[in-house]
């Protein structure tokens, strides 16, 4: 049975030095009931994870990769809501209350995304990412693309339906995961990529929406900082190119015939 409005936060983790700061940000900025579930993907960190009753450490005996780690974390989550975070993110004060009170049962929700300097542990002076358009990039993969025209059209709205998001942070009801997402598929996709698109397509198919919440924010490590980047392991290679082509094989027809006409793109 789900625990009130508790938010379960799943962090797939693999040898990232910023995991501890991410956990601290989640704990220090929460204003409601949360549990933080770092999933240690076949390794132990050099520094032990802090002792806090809100933390539930999951250790995988062997490396399963990002998708497998997320699936493992969700399987032990006890909250009514799920939040997935990368292992190098900072969060706004009260992020948990805002996201859980706003998220409808058939939504995947993300927030305004800033860029993080993980060394200084501060937001960078770069404009944030808001709405993203779902496009096919170079005929090889689905990709989110900044959408200035929709940003302008929806500038006075705080909750906005959008088409894409970075997979680094999302929220949904756990019941939606169990009913619609079920698990992140590893066959064909590999372990590292196209996970957000897989979930969005499944959500659209089930009559749900992808929504941006501008009332709160998170900051994700800027790509110029390579330390801690998880590009897969020998056991679970990233399959970057293969993942994109597989997603196109599964979802392209649906995207071209139903999604693009709906959005007029």
Contacts of 125 (CB under 8 A, 6+ apart): none
Q: Kindly state whether residue 153 falls inside one of the protein's structural domains.
A: yes
For the chain, what is the domain count? 1
- Residue 61 phi, psi (nearest 5): -65, -25
Domain that holds residue 98: 3-223+234-263
Neighbour-count burial for 131-149, b at 16+ CB within 10 Å, e otherwise? bbbbbbeeeebbbbeebee
Element (H, E) at 70: helix 66-76
pLDDT tens for each residue of the chain, 265 residues long: 456 789 999 999 999 999 999 999 999 999 999 999 999 999 999 999 999 999 999 999 999 999 999 999 999 999 999 999 999 999 999 999 999 999 999 999 999 999 999 999 999 999 999 999 999 999 999 999 999 999 999 999 999 999 999 999 999 999 999 999 999 999 999 888 899 999 999 999 999 999 999 999 999 999 888 655 455 555 555 455 689 999 999 999 999 999 999 999 9
Q: Can you give the CATH number for the domain in which 126 is found?
A: 3.90.550.10
Q: Kindly state whether residue 229 falls inside one of the protein's structural domains.
A: no
CB 109 within 8 A of CB 213: yes
Q: Kindly state whether residue 216 falls inside one of the protein's structural domains.
A: yes
Q: How many helices (H) and strands (E) does the chain have?
A: 8, 12
Distance CA 19, CA 166 (A): 18
Distance CA 135, CA 95 (A): 29
pTM (predicted TM-score): 0.94
Q: Kindly state whether residue 228 falls inside one of the protein's structural domains.
A: no
Among candidate residues 70, 65, 45, the one with its CA nearest the CA of residue 234: 65
Among candidate residues 221, 177, 230, the one with its CA nearest the CA of residue 63: 230
* Token representation of residue 109: 């929700």
Q: Kindly state whether residue 144 falls inside one of the protein's structural domains.
A: yes
Q: Kindly state whether residue 18 falls inside one of the protein's structural domains.
A: yes
Query: Which residue, chain included where needed, has tokens 């948990």?
Result: 96
**Per DSSP, what are the bridge partners of residue 123?**
116
Contacts of 127 (CB under 8 A, 6+ apart): none
**Per DSSP, what are the bridge partners of residue 141?**
137
CB 195 within 8 A of CB 66: yes
Q: Kindly state whether residue 238 falls inside one of the protein's structural domains.
A: yes
């Amino acid at each position: 049975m789900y625990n009130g409005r508790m938010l379960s936060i799943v962090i797939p983790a693999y040898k990232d030095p910023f995991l501890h700061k991410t956990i601290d940000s989640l704990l220090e900025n929460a204003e409601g009931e949360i549990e933080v579930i770092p999933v240690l993907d076949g390794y132990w960190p050099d520094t032990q994870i802090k002792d806090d009753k809100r933390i539930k450490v999951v250790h995988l005996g062997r490396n399963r990769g990002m998708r497998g780690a997320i699936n493992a974390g969700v399987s032990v989550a006890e909250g009514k809501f799920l939040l997935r975070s990368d292992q190098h993110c900072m969060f706004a004060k009260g992020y948990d209350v805002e996201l859980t009170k706003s998220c409808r049962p058939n939504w995947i929700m993300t927030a305004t995304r800033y860029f993080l300097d993980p060394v200084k542990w501060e937001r960078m002076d770069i404009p944030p990412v808001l709405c993203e358009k779902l496009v096919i990039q170079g005929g090889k993969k689905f990709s989110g693309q900044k959408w200035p025209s929709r940003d302008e059209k929806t500038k006075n709205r705080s909750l906005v339906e959008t088409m894409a998001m970075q997979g680094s942070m999302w929220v949904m009801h756990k019941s939606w995961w169990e009913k619609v997402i079920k698990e992140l598929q590893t066959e064909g996709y590999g372990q590292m990529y196209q996970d957000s698109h897989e979930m969005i397509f499944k959500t659209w198919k089930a009559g749900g929406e992808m929504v941006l919440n501008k009332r709160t924010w998170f900051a994700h490590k800027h790509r110029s900082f390579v330390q801690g980047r998880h590009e897969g392991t020998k056991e679970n290679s990233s399959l970057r190119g293969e993942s994109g082509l597989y997603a196109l094989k599964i979802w392209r027809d649906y995207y071209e015939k139903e999604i693009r006409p709906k959005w007029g793109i």
